[in-house]
Amino acid sequence: MIISPDRFLADLEDLGRIGWVDGEGMDRPAFSPSYGIARKFVEDRMKDAGLAVTVDGVGNIFGTLDGSDPSLPAIYAGSHLDAVPGGGKYDGPLGVMAALEAARTIREKSLPLRHPLVVAGFTGEEGGEMGGTFGSRAFAGLLEEPMPAEKLARVGLTPEGVRSAKAGPGRIACYFELHIEQGPYLERRNISVGIPTGIVGISRYAVRLEGEANHAGTTPMKERRDAMREAAELLSEWFAWTDTRDDFVCNVGVFSLHPGAVAIVPGRADFLLEIRSLKDSVMDEIAAKFRSFLEKRKNVSIFMEPVVRKGAVELDPLLQTAVETACEEAKVSSVRMPSGASHDANPMARITRAGMIFVPSAGGISHSKEEYTAPEDLARGADILARAVLEADRRL
């Protein structure tokens, strides 16, 4: 390996202690006290590595290593520092600390680097009040609408700070992100590195079925307008149909009943339907298909409204080749594959070339305290990232 695996793994482990709660997992949401401590940790490590450190108006942190040609735009590499409640240690921080290790390696070994290299630690990727990929969307200038000052003030931000976070034109040559796979594909095939070809789009819909609340003991079964029963039958039929397709996935992870009492027939059922696909056209097709299933429910009133839309993106072929070349140099097995989860690379791909590197997730588990990737896989991913940055520097 060209990196120092022991140093890299020690730093990653130290960062993983910040916000960790034994038995519960990570407690490090964006803008929280533990998040601030984590960002300070990364800032200190960047300074120790000789990088020039800046923090922008939304809390993204950047550490810059100068290249030999200051006229060239920068290669960015990184990920996010926040975590989902009860999550693991590697989702996001792996990419930030690996990018830092790449910069340290290049500087210490005086490896040739024409472009500046910027290590990026984005804020708010995991969602919350500001929405997912908040920091990278602000950096890419992709926030959909001006955010209310009161909402920003609750997390210590200002409208002016959000506007100032947008990257200047011609500033970015490309963006790399190393990430745990968060799925079982690599582990099941005993492949060391995944090279994502694209990132799925995500559509979410708020769905409501309204029947009639009534006494659960005195209302005959055949006379009920039971919203829960209608929703259960709908979703049973729907998921039987979804098993016939392999070009999308969908989920119902939030479901509620009203009034929610044991002796009352549910008068209303609300849930969120999520659809993911590598093709926006497929997401639209599946949403229309679900609506056709919904419209068959004649015993209730129905509502379906879009609440989230993130388009799918293709990742850059040149950067995929750079990662592939890095794997060949290191004699590491690799495969091209899609990404089923959203990442900071999604908004970044809309303003520059973007590429990703995946390493195996044990059991395909993520967003859980049981999230685990073997140390050798973590270090191997960091090594491939450093090699890919150097390869892209030569090609761009």
Give the residue numbers of the binding site for Zn(2+).
80, 91, 126, 179, 367
Spatial contact of 77 and 67, defined as CB atoms under 8 Å apart? no
Spatial contact of 1 and 386, defined as CB atoms under 8 Å apart? no
Q: Which position has the token pair 């984590």?
A: 38
Residues that constitute the known binding site: 80, 91, 126, 179, 367
Q: Between the CA of residue 203 and those of 269, 308, 346, what are the distances in Å?
A: 20, 5, 14
Alpha carbon distance 341, 337 (integer Å)? 12
